[in-house]
A and B are shown apart, each in its own frame.
Chain A
Amino acid sequence: MSVFEGFRFRRVLSPIHQLDPRAKFFYVCTVFVIAVMFNQLMPLILLFLIQLPFVLAAGVQKEWIRSMKGASFLALMIFLFNFLFTYFYREYPTFPPSSSLMEYSLAMTLRFIVLVESFSIFFLTTSPDRLGLALEQSHIPYEFCFAFTTAVRFVPVLAEEAQTIMDAQKARGLELERGNFIKRIRNYIPILIPLIVSAIRRSLELAEAMESRAWGATNKRTNLYVLKIARGDYILAIISIGMLVLAVYVWLFMREQIPSLIPWITG
């Protein structure tokens, strides 16, 4: 659950929170594209460090660190899988594994961490309401925007309900951590069924509530709040474009010259 903690929005005032979700999303996409472009360690480390000022400026260090911790297990898995599979596929039976393989696996892991990092910053600093608004103003059909914001909105509600259901079943003697692997999975049936049933019930109720509040009565909705692109947003967009241009340039003309960090790894 701790991974999700790192994506949960809290209402704080900071320059990053004030930014337009569209500008931030563009930035996140830029980071995404750059992270996927390179599989060397050096540029990914840079990409990781570039984002730290954003975290500090937004004042979400605590939550951010939590999400990083939550992602660490997956990161470890990614490292192991990359390392082992590539080793057996390419290098086996030479031993020990080459240091370039080490660098490659580390880079893949870091790529994942960079992606989690940027999305975590995005969701930590963007309220679901503003996100929905941004979607709407990007001419995405309102039905989709609404479905999206509703889904986001109900995640904590469902998490809380899951906890209550777990408590209720534990109080009836259910021991989740007992038995072998199959038994343990089966142990979750008494939790999943009430959870799914109540989610379906809730969605039906929500549908009725929406209809009784004239959902879809007009084709053209107006909004109380309208997002406007401000100076900070332009600056962020320019930074993103700059990063992208630089990355493409390096990728096209200097890819072979990116220094390897192998000497540093092997000591």
Chain B
Amino acid sequence: MIEVKDIFFTYPNNVKALKGVSLNIREGDFVAIMGQNGAGKTTLVKHFNGLLKPTKGAVIVNGVDTREESVAKLSRGVGFVFQNPDNQLFCETVEEEVAFALRNFGFEDKIVQKRVEWAINLLGLAKHRQSSPFMLSGGERKRVALASVLAWNPDVVILDEPTIGQDYKQKEKLRQFIVQLNAQGKTVVVVTHDVEFVAECNPRVVLMAQGEIVVDGDAKHVLTNAKLVTKASIVPPQISQIFMGLTDLGLPIDIIDVYEARDILLDFLGGDL
């Protein structure tokens, strides 16, 4: 689906953001790209819809080299939700905002209406449909941005830092939503440094540091590997921190799920709780 072949990327100010990254994202994958600030996460995903073209190497999306296709064409298949919704909202009403991309892609009016209706309901924005996006709260604005991308039903959805500035309840809703999208067969790529969020989603994790991929594997194995996690400057999830501290009791170390942890601890204590 998305094939990244040994790409290098240097910004015009000579910052080398990517130094030889290879990655293969298959249809239906759920990938979390993690790493500290400046590790090259956002730079990497901006290659997926052609916003950036590699200085060296190639990115192949659905069999097409991104250098030979416009961003608009590539975006039809790869939806990108930006970190800050304020970077894209400009219409007078939420409805128009959601319809904007559909019109750009040349959908017919009837279909535009249907899709807008669908996306607005999907993200629970029905009562705000006539409001100005600028009058909504931060979380609502974020949902409008998400709706405006999901409306054209791209095969791949990229979310850049979806959890920033969201309270726990919103995050939980978002998580369920993403998991649901993925269950429906969408390929989902999340860029984040929210470890707890990733631990709860349990996706495939790609850890990046200094423009390179450190490791690519299951969340369970990656996030509980103290060495790798330190290299990418992230803190392991709280559950795995507990289990890292309990290794001398003979407990396993690769635990990130709360319920699994509960079962193991109950088992260990003889089920007396």
Seen from chain A, the residues whose Cβ lies within 8 Å of a Cβ on chain B are 161, 164-165, 167-175, 189-190, 193-194, 197-198, 201
Contacts and interface: CB of A to CB of B under 8 A. Distances in A.
Contacts of B134: 197
The listed residue with most A CB atoms (<10 A of its CB), out of B79, B80, B86, is B86
A189 B100 CA distance: 12
B101 A190 contact: no
A170 B88 contact: no
A12 to B, nearest CB: 15
Interface stretch (B70-78, B199-207, B241-249, B257-265): B70-78
A198 to B, nearest CB: 6
A197 B133 CA distance: 12
B52 to A, nearest CB: 9
19 contacts: A161-B87, A165-B88, A167-B46, A168-B80, A168-B87, A168-B88, A171-B49, A172-B88, A172-B101, A172-B104, A172-B149, A173-B75, A173-B101, A173-B152, A189-B90, A190-B90, A193-B90, A194-B89, A197-B90
Contacts of A165: 87-88
Contact of B72 (A164, A174, A194): A174
Interface in B86-119: 86-90, 100-101, 104-105
Q: Which 10 pairs, one residue from A and one from B, show the smallest C-beta to C-beta distance?
A: A173-B104, A193-B90, A172-B101, A171-B80, A168-B88, A170-B71, A168-B87, A168-B82, A173-B72, A165-B87
Contacts, number: 61
Given A170-B75, A197-B134, A175 B87 contact: no
A190 B75 CA distance: 17
A189 B86 CA distance: 14
B104 A194 contact: no
Interface of B: 46, 49, 51, 70-72, 75-76, 79-80, 82, 84, 86-90, 100-101, 104-105, 134, 148-149, 152
Contact of B100 (A167, A190, A194): A190
Contacts of A201: 86
A267 B104 CA distance: 56
A247 to B, nearest CB: 39
Contact of A175 (B70, B86, B90, B100): B70
B75 A194 contact: no
A198 B152 CA distance: 27
Contact of B88 (A175, A189, A194): A194
B86 A194 contact: yes
A251 B149 CA distance: 66
Contacts of A167: 46, 51, 82
A171 B87 contact: no
Nearest to A193: B90
Contact of B86 (A172, A190, A197): A197
Contacts of B46: 167
Contacts of B87: 161, 164-165, 168, 194, 198
Nearest to B89: A194
Contacts of A189: 90
Contacts of A164: 82, 84, 87
The listed residue with most B CB atoms (<10 A of its CB), out of A165, A168, A197, is A168
Given A167-B51, A168-B87, 13 more contacts: A164-B84, A168-B88, A170-B71, A170-B75, A171-B79, A172-B101, A172-B148, A172-B149, A173-B104, A174-B72, A174-B104, A175-B72, A194-B89
Contacts of A174: 72, 104
A167 B53 CA distance: 13
A194 B144 CA distance: 15
